[in-house]
């Protein structure tokens, strides 16, 4: 008598099981964190990831994480696209001091980290690369906290704007710094020049092409929110895929797509964007997976250096914002809150550290761990900072907690 | 201004006859999706640093500010001041990436999203009226016409009530509400009618009788001050004016000034010629006329209360403009009335403009964007 219809034990953990379980675990942890500890849900998602990750339980092994990295890219792609789509050149044109603040925020953040690391004896080229990586604020955290709180107002808008600027700044600065490292380490300098040109130019080109295609299709589809939503998702996923296949930067390509779509849509064929509940799915997965990949190692070996980096970064950014706040029309007290809201370091840093370390193992040995530990810390504490700032600014919806 | 409301508040402070002032409630929109924003506090903070001819004030929700003109004797100076105020507001709003727009309603906002401006009075209104207070996110123009005394003010209220459908039809600019085409030229008035103290002033003969009525309402605890009456037209003793409150905020400051000129000339005609005595018949037909005007605008019909016959609202306006033109000429409002008459003849209304905008562009965010562009004076 054959029971061959029964599955073989132990049965394989298929991708749907894995993804479904990740979603459920993240959802429950987020809800619990919010209900019992009054923490942002995002922190709960990330904590679930930490618990499941290779450093603790190991349910999610390094191998699984690598296999699921496409999900991270897709989620980041959606978020970065939305961030770019909200980026409004005309605002910067009308408010030059805002432009000055955005540039200064990136430069001062970079300068402060660079200065601190050089002061503690790191080689300038390594310090500069680390500073570039560290300058970025997490698009995912600020965007999600703003969504969760249904926050709206000047501090929220400016947090998102500065995040878009410093994310691009970080990536471009790092890419341009890599040739310096190449030269220092006497690598072939043709590669040193061509590599950043390929990545930046190629990502930008991918964004431009996707944008043209999207605008053309949107014009043909007409102004229907449901159809345009599917179109947006399709273009985002497609661009993420193309960027991955061509070894380009997902972040730059999607940011370019978003920014161009918003600012070159002269005839306003695109409807305003609302990802709604669908977006939430990706965000939960993103934070669980990011949490699983967090690396706290350096907190045990170089806690002081991680602290120095975070403090210098915060002070640099705060100084720039405070200096220009009133001129750019921020109400009194708003500047400090903006600086706090921008505290979370970008999860994109993980990828940047990985890429840089692969090219230059010496960077990974000296500063990789420190950056990763800083990211890990702000991934958990950062949402709290952003949430505090937006609430304190009076921009959160008081009824949004129960949503 | 006293909130408590006693007899002092009710003392009628005379002002120059047919002097003119307007209040305009404006929409503050977010640049990225053209929905209503919450920018009022930040915008007022920025405007506080500038010297402005009139005043800009908070209103009930954080998506709204109110422009108050100063007192004018002529349409031209009112218009110039409104243009200057508009430019200041639009510029400062640009610093915050906000758009400013006229129009009686936002085309697609969701009233449940609105948050009440955190002052004592507005919180109290939310407490008392519940969701009505949030649904009240509509945008109107109030026109003040100066009166020398309370008796004249009562007389003028009775006289102007006959013209309520005119003001509704001429200002109508709220065809869309909560994302729907309502079919109305002015959907805004419907949300005001829900309030218990909406409607019109009772049929009192003079200021003394009005005070008697007011005292009774106050002693019964139904009202605490004149502010609690949401009437279409009400006397405003502290300013020494009669206040017309049925207008939607038009899409341009120019049109707001035109409406002011119309009210001013009507007031001059009635106060100086006293062509008619107050009549109850006016109030008998009032809600019918009001409905026709908000639903169909100038194409609607009104019942002429003194002659008891039906007339197209547009025709009645043209006829009225002819009658009051001599007074308009004396107070510098003739050009304004000619312009209004031309619009009526061409079937123009701000509501029709918005409807056409939707037909051309196909989406309500586009309607909001175009309205903001128009308000800024760029188109």
What pLDDT, on the 0 to 100 scale, is given for residue B379?
55
pLDDT at A210 exceeding the cut of 60: yes
Q: What is the mean pLDDT of residues B61-89?
A: 94
Q: What is the mean pLDDT of residues A247-260?
A: 93
A95 SS3 class: coil
pLDDT at A188 exceeding the cut of 70: no
pLDDT at B3 exceeding the cut of 50: no
CATH number of B20-375: 3.30.590.20
Domains and CATH numbers, chain A: 18-402 (1.20.1530.20)
Name residue, tokens 């410093």: A166
- Distance, in Å, from the CA atom of A66 to the CA atom of A47, rounded to the nearest integer, reads 19
A interface residues, B as partner, C-beta within 8 Å: 85-86, 88, 90-91, 94-95, 98, 152-154, 157, 222-223, 262, 268, 271-273, 328-329, 331, 395, 397
Looking at chain A, the whole-number percentage of residues with pLDDT higher than 90 is 53
Confidence grade of residue B17 (pLDDT, cut at 50, 70, 90): confident
Q: Chain B residues with CB inside 8 Å of A152's CB? A: 30, 37-38
Window 85-104 of B, Cβ < 8 Å to A: 92, 94-97
* Among the ranges given (A101-115, B36-50, B145-159, B281-295), the one the predictor scored with the smallest mean pLDDT: B36-50
Q: What is the mean pLDDT of residues B123-135?
A: 79
* Among the ranges given (A7-16, A26-35, B65-74, B347-356), the one the predictor scored with the smallest mean pLDDT: A7-16
- Distance, in Å, from the CA atom of A65 to the CA atom of A53, rounded to the nearest integer, reads 9
Interface test with A, best of B95, B107, B109, B364 (most A CBs within 10 A): B95
pLDDT single digits (tens) B246-271? 999 999 999 999 999 999 999 999 99
ipTM score over 0.95, yes or no: no
pLDDT at B370 exceeding the cut of 80: yes
What pLDDT, on the 0 to 100 scale, is given for residue A187?
61
pLDDT at A259 exceeding the cut of 70: yes
User: In Å, how far are B66, B86, B89, B261 from B82, measured between CA atoms?
Assistant: 12, 6, 10, 13
pLDDT at A402 exceeding the cut of 50: no
* Among the ranges given (A277-286, B62-71, B243-252, B333-342), the one the predictor scored with the smallest mean pLDDT: A277-286
What pLDDT, on the 0 to 100 scale, is given for residue A12?
66
SS3 of chain B: helix, strand, coil, percent, to 5: 50, 15, 35
Rounded to the nearest integer, the mean pLDDT of chain B is 92
- Distance, in Å, from the CA atom of A250 to the CA atom of B304, rounded to the nearest integer, reads 69
Rounded to the nearest integer, the mean pLDDT of chain A is 88
pLDDT single digits (tens) A2-52? 677 777 766 666 778 888 888 999 999 999 998 998 888 899 999 999 998
Q: What is the mean pLDDT of residues B46-67?
A: 87
Predicted TM-score (pTM) of this structure:
0.89
């Amino acid at each position: 008598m054959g029971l061959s219809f029964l599955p073989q034990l132990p049965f394989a953990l298929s991708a749907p099981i894995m993804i479904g379980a990740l979603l459920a675990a993240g959802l429950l942890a987020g809800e619990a964190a919010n209900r019992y500890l009054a923490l942002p849900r995002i922190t709960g998602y990330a904590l679930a990831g930490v618990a499941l990750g290779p450093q603790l339980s190991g349910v999610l092994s390094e191998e699984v994480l690598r296999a699921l990295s496409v999900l991270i890219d897709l989620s980041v792609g959606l978020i970065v696209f939305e961030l770019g789509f909200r980026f409004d050149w005309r605002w910067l044109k009308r408010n030059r001091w805002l432009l000055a603040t955005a540039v200064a925020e990136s430069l001062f953040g970079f300068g402060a980290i660079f200065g601190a690391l050089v002061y503690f004896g790191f080689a300038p080229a390594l310090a500069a690369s680390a500073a570039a990586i560290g300058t970025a604020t997490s698009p995912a955290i600020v965007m999600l906290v703003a969504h969760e709180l249904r926050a709206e107002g000047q501090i929220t808008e400016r947090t998102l704007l500065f995040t878009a600027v410093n994310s691009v700044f970080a990536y471009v600065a790092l890419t341009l710094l890599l040739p310096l490292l190449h030269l220092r380490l006497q690598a072939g300098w043709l590669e040193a020049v061509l590599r950043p040109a390929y990545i930046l130019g190629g990502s930008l080109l991918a964004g431009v092409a996707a944008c043209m295609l999207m605008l053309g299709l949107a014009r043909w589809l007409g102004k229907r929110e449901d159809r345009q939503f599917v179109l947006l998702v399709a273009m985002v996923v497609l661009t993420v895929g193309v960027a991955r296949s061509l070894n380009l930067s997902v972040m730059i390509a999607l940011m370019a797509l978003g920014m161009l779509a918003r600012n070159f849509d002269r005839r306003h064929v695109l409807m305003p964007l609302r990802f709604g509940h669908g977006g939430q799915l990706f965000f939960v997965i993103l934070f669980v997976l990011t949490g699983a990949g967090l690396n706290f190692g350096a907190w045990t070996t170089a806690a002081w250096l991680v602290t120095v980096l975070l403090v210098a970064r915060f002070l640099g950014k705060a100084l720039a914002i405070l200096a220009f706040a009133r001129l750019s029309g921020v109400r009194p007290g708003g500047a400090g809150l903006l600086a706090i809201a921008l505290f979370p370091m970008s999860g994109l840093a993980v990828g940047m550290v990985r890429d840089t370390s692969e090219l230059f193992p010496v960077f990974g040995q000296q500063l990789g761990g420190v950056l990763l530990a800083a990211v890990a810390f702000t991934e958990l504490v950062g949402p709290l900072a952003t949430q505090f700032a937006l609430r304190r600014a009076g921009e959160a919806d008081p009824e949004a907690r129960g949503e | 201004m006293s909130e408590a409301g006693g007899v002092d508040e009710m003392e009628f402070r005379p002002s120059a006859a047919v002097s003119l002032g307007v209040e305009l409630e404006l929409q503050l929109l977010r640049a990225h999706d053209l929905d209503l924003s919450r920018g009022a506090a930040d915008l007022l903070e920025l405007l506080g640093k500038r010297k402005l001819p009139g005043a800009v004030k908070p209103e009930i929700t954080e998506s709204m500010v109110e422009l108050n003109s100063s007192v004018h004797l002529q349409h031209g100076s009112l218009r110039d001041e409104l243009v200057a105020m508009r430019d200041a507001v639009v510029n400062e709003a640009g610093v915050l990436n906000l758009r400013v727009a006229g129009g009686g309603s936002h085309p697609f906002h969701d009233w449940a999203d609105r948050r009440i401006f955190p002052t004592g009075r507005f919180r109290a209104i939310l407490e008392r009226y519940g969701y009505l207070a949030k649904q009240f996110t509509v945008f109107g123009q109030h026109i003040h016409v100066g009166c020398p005394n309370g008796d004249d003010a009562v007389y003028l209220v009775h006289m102007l009530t006959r013209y309520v459908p005119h003001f509704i039809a001429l200002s109508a600019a709220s065809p869309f509400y909560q994302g729907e085409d309502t079919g109305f030229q002015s959907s805004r008035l419907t949300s005001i009618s829900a309030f218990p103290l909406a409607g019109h002033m009772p049929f009192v003969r003079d200021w003394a009788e009005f005070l008697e009525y007011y005292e009774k309402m106050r002693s019964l605890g139904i009202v605490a001050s004149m502010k609690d009456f949401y009437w279409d037209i009400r006397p405003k003793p502290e300013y020494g004016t009669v206040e017309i409150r049925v207008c939607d905020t038009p899409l341009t400051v120019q049109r707001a000034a035109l409406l002011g000129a119309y009210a001013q000339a009507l007031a001059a005609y009635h106060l100086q010629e006293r062509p008619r005595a107050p009549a109850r018949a006016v109030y008998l037909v009032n809600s019918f006329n009001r409905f026709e005007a908000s639903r169909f605008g100038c194409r609607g019909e009104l019942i002429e209360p003194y002659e008891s016959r039906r007339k197209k609202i547009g025709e009645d306006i043209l006829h009225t403009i002819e009658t009051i033109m001599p007074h308009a000429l004396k107070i510098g409002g003739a050009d304004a009335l000619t312009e209004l008459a031309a619009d009526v003849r061409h079937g123009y209304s701000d509501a029709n403009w918005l409807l056409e905008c939707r037909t051309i562009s196909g989406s309500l965010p586009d309607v909001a964007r175009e309205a903001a562009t128009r308000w800024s004076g760029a188109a």
